Amino acid sequence: EQKLKQEQEKDSSLPKAQTIKIRDAVASRGKRVKVSGWVHRLRVQGKDMMFAVLRDGSGYIQCVLTGQLCKTFDAITLTLESTITVYGVINQLPEGKTAPDGHELVVDYWTMVGKAPGGDDAFTNKISQDADPSYLLDQRHLVLRGETASAVMKARSQVIKAFRAHFEHKGYTEVTPPCMVQTQVEGGSTLFAFDYYGQQAYLTQSSQLYLETCLPALGDVFCLAESYRAEKSHTRRHLSEYTHLEAELAFITFDDLLQGLEDLICDTLDRVLADEPTRQLIEQLNPGFQRPQRPFMRMTYADAITYLKENEIKKEDGTYYQFGEDIPEAPERVMTDKIGKPIFLTRFPAEIKAFYMQKCSDDRRVTESVDVLMPGVGEIVGGSMRMDNMEELIEAYKNAGIDSAPYYWYTEQRKYGTTPHGGFGLGVERFLAWLLNRYTVRECSLYPRFTGRCTP
Ligand code: 4AD
């Protein structure tokens, strides 16, 4: 049988087929090609015709099988998600007929690679759209094959490429700090602890402290690494493991920091939208997306407290937020959605922010800090200037109840040539949830981890 197959493939009356990925289909029209992939959609028309949309991760192509080709046992029992290899010529479709890229592959020969089950075990029974979200997360390995989930992952890949291109363009050095650490950055309550050869260690919450130590060696730096937060709450925007884009800049002012952030967001969007296939993915997921206008709105924390009051956005107990209180996710989102554009929320009170933040010189109660808020998601970036005075930092450890000993390497940055510096961290899944209009960050992670889920 194998020999027969080879002979058919080599049918001397047909030209030799060129192996292609579907992304190259448009450029390969009119030539005989060989394409392998998964049966994405299947439609049988009478006894003599079958349409199979094939997917190979690089695109989709409609294949038409006629005559003997759809009368074999394999053809009659063909199922969705089976893998097949097809041979034939890609022809442009006449006006009025539709298929991906406006063409179809007219098959002259095909083989089965791996048959997927039909019946109760069939693919479509495993991932029905109205299934329970938790069940669908168990089936994430199959859900990923869908048009929406795979489009999100493709867009994610392009966005990450654009972030890197932006920093490359600006001359930053990329570093890869450790994930296993013995210091905290963003408070003890969200640390994941584990045993490290008999000592307590943590999964990193942020690579910021390490990035700061790179400035004297490498200049401005960035990293794209996983951060971990033991978040106890179930929300649309919290993961236990997320991809964190962080950057650190030396010899800057707070205003430079804000400018750098605006550049990052706008330049990344420009790069992503300049790539036509990516622009189409964004249009598919978030129709009508408009890039935000520069400059971004700037609002101080104090003004946000006033805004909440004036717009009657209250706490659960019916009272208003007071200066000094944390603005939680819900009111923050109400405010951001009402304003409907990106906001740089600045100058948070020192007591509700991390220990390392630089205080404003004109008001010591507040810090040179910023959160970037986006409609639909809320906070996607947190950043600040860092304390550059050693005595002040030692005092800050004390106030936060942190033992300074394990931080000697961080403290010493202020001893051996201190400098005004600052940086930020952007949650990649949150950025994507905003850009791709996803309801939750979970859709923007390959295999999301959150309270109670560490599988598959
Ligand atoms: O505001 P955060 O906690 O800031 C830091 O970690 C700083 N040390 C970063 C820095 O200056 N280098 O976190 C930064 C961003 C948030 O704005 C959010 O987008 C994301 O990280 N983030 C999360 N994303 C998903 N799930 C979580 N549990 C997240 N926690 C933070």
Each residue's pLDDT, cut to its tens digit, for the chain (456 residues) gives 555 555 555 567 889 999 999 999 999 999 999 999 999 999 999 999 999 999 999 999 999 999 999 999 999 999 999 999 999 999 999 888 899 999 999 999 999 999 999 999 999 988 877 788 899 999 999 999 999 999 999 999 999 999 999 999 999 999 999 999 999 999 989 999 999 999 999 999 999 999 999 999 999 999 999 999 999 888 999 999 999 999 999 999 999 999 999 999 999 999 999 999 999 999 999 999 999 999 999 999 999 999 999 999 999 999 999 999 999 999 999 999 999 999 999 999 999 999 999 999 999 999 999 999 999 999 999 999 999 999 999 999 999 999 999 999 999 999 999 999 999 999 999 999 999 999 999 999 999 999 999 999
Atom of ligand 1 nearest to the CA of 423: 11
Alpha-carbon separation of residue 152 from 133, 135, 280, 427 (angstroms): 17, 20, 12, 16
User: From atom 16 of ligand 1, which residue's Cα is the shortest distance away?
Assistant: 381
| 355, two tokens | 């220990």
Alpha-carbon separation of residue 103 from 26, 30, 423 (angstroms): 8, 11, 49
Task: Choose among 26, 184, 187: nearest CA to 92.
Answer: 26
Q: How far is the CA of 241 from the centre of ligand 1 (A)?
A: 11
* 232: three-class secondary structure by DSSP: coil
Q: 135-165 burial, b if ≥16 CB within 10 A, otherwise e?
A: ebbeebeebebeeebebbbbbbebbbebbbe
How far apart are the C-alpha atoms of 456 and 454, rounded to whole Å?
7
Is 428 touching ligand 1 by the criterion CB < 6 Å?
no
Is 185 touching ligand 1 by the criterion CB < 6 Å?
yes
Are 367 and 358 in contact by the 8 Å Cβ rule? The answer is: yes
Is 241 touching ligand 1 by the criterion CB < 6 Å?
no
Q: How far is the CA of 415 from the centre of ligand 1 (A)?
A: 28
Alpha-carbon separation of residue 374 from 101, 263, 296, 300, 406 (angstroms): 34, 15, 11, 16, 36
Are 93 and 104 in contact by the 8 Å Cβ rule? The answer is: yes
Domains of the chain are: 2-121 (2.40.50.140), 138-444 (3.30.930.10)
Q: How far is the CA of 229 from the centre of ligand 1 (A)?
A: 9
Phi, psi for residue 360 in degrees, rounded to 5: -70, 140
Is 155 touching ligand 1 by the criterion CB < 6 Å?
no
For residue 229, the tally of other CB atoms under 10 A from its CB is 22
What's the pTM? 0.96
Is 368 touching ligand 1 by the criterion CB < 6 Å?
no
For 397, counting Cβ atoms within 10 Å of its Cβ (0-12 exposed, 13-18 middle, 19+ buried), the class is middle
User: Among 227, 232, 326, 445, which residue has the most ligand 1 atoms within 8 Å of its CB, making it the best to mutate?
Assistant: 227
Is 413 touching ligand 1 by the criterion CB < 6 Å?
no
Is 245 touching ligand 1 by the criterion CB < 6 Å?
no
Angle in degrees, CA 435, 252, 412, rounded to 5: 110
Is 378 touching ligand 1 by the criterion CB < 6 Å?
no
